[in-house]
Amino acid sequence: NAGVTQTPKFRILKIGQSMTLQCTQDMNHNYMYWYRQDPGMGLKLIYYSVGAGITDKGEVPNGYNVSRSTTEDFPLRLELAAPSQTSVYFCASSPPAHGHGYTFGSGTRLTVV
């Protein structure tokens, strides 16, 4: 099992550019999440999804969009990148019940210059 796979691992964007961060999981988890982690800080929830076709905003959704067309994939779209979006982005997934933890990907380090 690969778990949660994120691509790319690193990316440098210029202000105003756009990109999609890819996330896929092979555990058949219903729930998927996108978090961002700023230096020295904990993770903040951007968007989450409880199943294919269903998405909802988290704590810091502005500047991002998501889609969930399949159970496996949950891409995060950045439109008009800004320096404030420089961060490490983590995708995670979980089954619809507590007690199993959340499985995180290894992260995408994004720098906007």
Specify the 3-state DSSP secondary structure of 84: helix
Q: Kindly tell me which of 14 and 42 has the beta carbon lying closer to other proteins.
A: 42
**Minimum Å distance from CB 85 to other proteins?**
19
Q: Kindly tell me which of 75 and 95 has the beta carbon lying closer to other proteins.
A: 95
CA distances from 45 to 18, 23, 42, 74, 91 (A): 20, 15, 10, 14, 10
Report in angstroms how near the CB of residue 9 gets to other proteins at its nearest.
9
User: Shortest CA distance to 79 belongs to which of 6, 11, 16?
Assistant: 16
Nearest distance in Å: CB 23, other proteins:
11
Residues lying near other proteins in the complex (CB under 8 A) are found at 4, 31, 33, 35, 40-45, 48, 50, 58-59, 90, 92, 94, 96, 98-99, 101-107
Taking the least distance from each CB to other proteins, the nearer of 44 and 77 is: 44
